[in-house]
Amino acid sequence: MKILDCTLRDGGYYTNWDFDNDLVKVYFESFNHLPIDFLEIGYKAFAENYYKGEFYYLPLFLIKKIKSISNKNLAILLNGKDLFESNIEDLLLPCVGLIDLVRVAIDPKDLNKSLTLLKRIKSLGFKVALNVMYMSKWKTMKSFLTDLPLVNETCDFFYMVDSYGSVYPEDVKEITQTVKSILSIPLGFHGHNNLEMALVNSLTALEYGVEIIDSTVTGMGRGAGNLKTELILTHLSSKGLLEFDFNYLSNLVDKFSQLQKLHNWGTNLPYMVSGSNSLPQKDVMEWITKRFYSLNSIVEALQNQKSNLLDKPRVERFKPENKFENVLLIGGGNSVQQHFEAIRSFVYTNKSSITIVHASSTNAYLFKDLDFIPQYFCLVGNEGHRLERVYDNSPFKGICILPPPPRKLGIYKPEIAKDKIFEIEQSTINHPINDTHTILAFEISSILEAKNVYLVGYDGYPKESITSKMHEMFIENQNIFNLVKNRFKLISLLPTLYDLKITSLYSLIK
């Protein structure tokens, strides 16, 4: 049996494929003393629009540096969907003589069209592995199984990938037996750990004839992560199948454990739910690592995905009868409470032409009694729960607005507002995420045909201490302001750290 460690490649999803030099040094030095056969050092890819670091592009100087400090066979992974016969040599010619194994990851439906590519890669002198995703779905894919024998002539390894982290040992056994009856080349298995099945699945795969398995240090890898290198090595050592110096292993694990404290990879309830229901973990990882969603709303979103509730419009579209020239947009900042008397006075002064849009419900409690003008509430993430807490037993007279479908992330709809919930028909602001508080607030303002949007409570966070998530939200909000500033006249009425035009609230009231 062989082991391939793909920590830098798969762990890069958490670090944008940049790793500290010291970590990289410890990684390669430690593995020089550990019984691992291949190290997959990264992707090799063409330029993309988002920033990704050195282990995503693997420039030649980096490969050469690695080659000079590592005594292992080196592998890289290519994304099959980005490859064409015309561009494959641009990508791979610099790797000849340095990289031993080129792996190509594909969707099973692309099996047939990938074959000529694989031959071309092999003709350059590399060993070639085909990593086919979604193994749990193969048995229902007739044409995939029909074409599978062709892989015998084109590849050195055929890898079964448990993309969702959803398979159990009995599935591994069945799929391995099926594939083994078709293919004569060595098989591989790449397991995910959503259900903590990565080790037992890998052992089952080996038992039924798989010859190479993937692992990563501390399981670092997209979403719930992988079989842990230290777990498979410890297991094999305790069974007397391998010998090595645990000092090298624990030094290595120590380094990555420190990094794990920062990024928190590993399984948790949302990954368990996505795994056990064969749902993609890409969204889950985005929700967990980047944004403010509660575990609850993520789990609910996954339950929705499971039930295919995504695209079904379940509420009426938002088509207001009245339009308003002015919107007072309320953020979650402390300044709203501090300046509330003045805000109330401003609203009263403009009551014939103004309405209120609550981006966050944090400050909504202050406005409960202002029932002489309409109030709109952005229903994203946790806001439904928050609204229930604010209104408790008092009557709710506002209108709740949902982001446009498909709404991947489940949104809690509060009982108190049940006949007052509407949805935006479609996004009009071109932003990668359409369900943030601020985007939704501007979509509402657009539909209300507002010309002026007055902002309060967009303080930009206090200076003393902010989390990195708050910092990210700040940047996201600023980008949104920049996107809509030609559509509305944006005016902050209170001090703000955002780059916004300011007119003091106190200059506008008597």
Alpha carbons 8 and 31: distance in angstroms, whole number: 13
Q: Does 289 bind a copy of itself (CB under 8 A)?
A: no
- Residue 196: which region, alpha, beta or left (left: phi > 0; alpha: psi -120 to 50)? left
Cβ neighbors of 464 (< 8 A, separation 6 or more) are none
DSSP 82: G
Q: How far apart are CA 500 and CA 482, in angstroms?
A: 9
Which position among 268, 427, 428, 446 is part of the footprint of a copy of itself (CB under 8 A)?
A: 268
d(CA 202, CA 236): 12
Q: Which two tokens stand for residue 440?
A: 């939704």
What's the closest the beta carbon of residue 24 comes to a copy of itself, in angstroms? 20
> Taking the CB of residue 53, how many other CB atoms lie within 10 A of it?
13
Based on CB atoms, which residue is closest to a copy of itself, 229 or 496?
229
Could you give the CA distance from residue 102 to residue 2 in angstroms, rounded to a whole number? Answer: 16
Q: Which of residues 223-262 bind a copy of itself (CB under 8 A)?
A: 228, 230-231, 234-235, 237-238, 246-247, 249-251, 253-254, 257
When binding is defined by CB under 8 A, the residue of 199, 364, 416, 473 that contacts a copy of itself is: 199
C-beta of 239 vs 510, nearer to a copy of itself: 239
Closer CB to a copy of itself, residue 251 or residue 446?
Answer: 251
Q: How far is the CB of 234 from a copy of itself (least distance, A)?
A: 4
Nearer Cβ to a copy of itself (249/440): 249
- Which of 172-181 are b and which e, b meaning 16 or more Cβ less than 10 Å from the residue's Cβ? bbebbeebee
Helix, strand or coil for residue 368?
coil
Q: Which helix (H) or strand (E) holds 376?
A: strand 375-378
Tell me the C-alpha distance between 377 and 375, whole Å. Answer: 7
Residue 276 makes contact with a copy of itself by CB under 8 A: yes
Q: Which range touches a copy of itself (CB under 8 A), out of 31-39, 129-137, 273-281, 442-450?
A: 273-281
Neighbours of 106 (CB within 10 A): 21
Which residue, 178 or 276, is less far from a copy of itself as judged by CB? Answer: 276
Paired tokens of 51? 């920033």
Query: Least distance (Å) from a copy of itself to the CB of residue 186?
Result: 25
Contacts to a copy of itself from residues 450-489, by CB under 8 A:
none
Told to check if 198 binds a copy of itself by CB under 8 A, we report: yes
Contacts of 50 (CB under 8 A, 6+ apart): none
40 Cα distance to chain centroid: 22
Cα–chain-centroid distance for residue 122? Answer: 33
User: Which DSSP symbol is given to 165?
Assistant: S
Q: How far apart are CA 318 and CA 487, in angstroms?
A: 20
Closer residue to a copy of itself, CB minimum distance, 254 or 316:
254
Whole-angstrom Cα distance, residue 468 to residue 474? 10
Residue 168 or 292: the one with the smaller Cβ distance to a copy of itself is: 168
| Site map 425..454 versus a copy of itself, x via CB under 8 A | ------------------------------
User: Of 290-298, 374-382, 443-451, 456-464, which segment contacts a copy of itself by CB under 8 A?
Assistant: 290-298
Rounded CA separation 28/495 (Å)? 51
**Per-residue x/- mask for a copy of itself, residues 157 to 196, rule CB under 8 A?**
-----------xx-----------------------x-xx
**Residues in contact with a copy of itself, shown as a per-residue x/- string from 295 to 314 under the rule CB under 8 A:** xx-xxx--x-----------
CA dihedral 488, 380, 333, 372 (to 10 degrees): 70
Size of the site for a copy of itself (CB under 8 A): 37
Tell me the closest approach of the beta carbon of residue 9 to a copy of itself, in angstroms: 22
Member of 150, 272, 429, 508 binding a copy of itself (CB under 8 A): 272
Nearer to a copy of itself, 229 or 363 (CB): 229
Kindly give the interhelix angle for 229-238 and 198-207, rounded to the nearest 10 degrees. 50
Query: What amino acid is encoded at 438 in this protein?
Result: T
- State the nearest-atom distance from the C-beta of 194 to a copy of itself, in Å: 9
| Choices 19-27, 265-273, 282-290, 314-322; region in contact with a copy of itself by CB under 8 A | 265-273
Residue 237 beta carbon to a copy of itself: minimum distance, rounded to whole angstroms: 7
Q: Which residues bind a copy of itself (CB under 8 A)?
A: 168-169, 193, 195-200, 228, 230-231, 234-235, 237-238, 246-247, 249-251, 253-254, 257, 268-269, 272-273, 276-277, 294-296, 298-300, 303
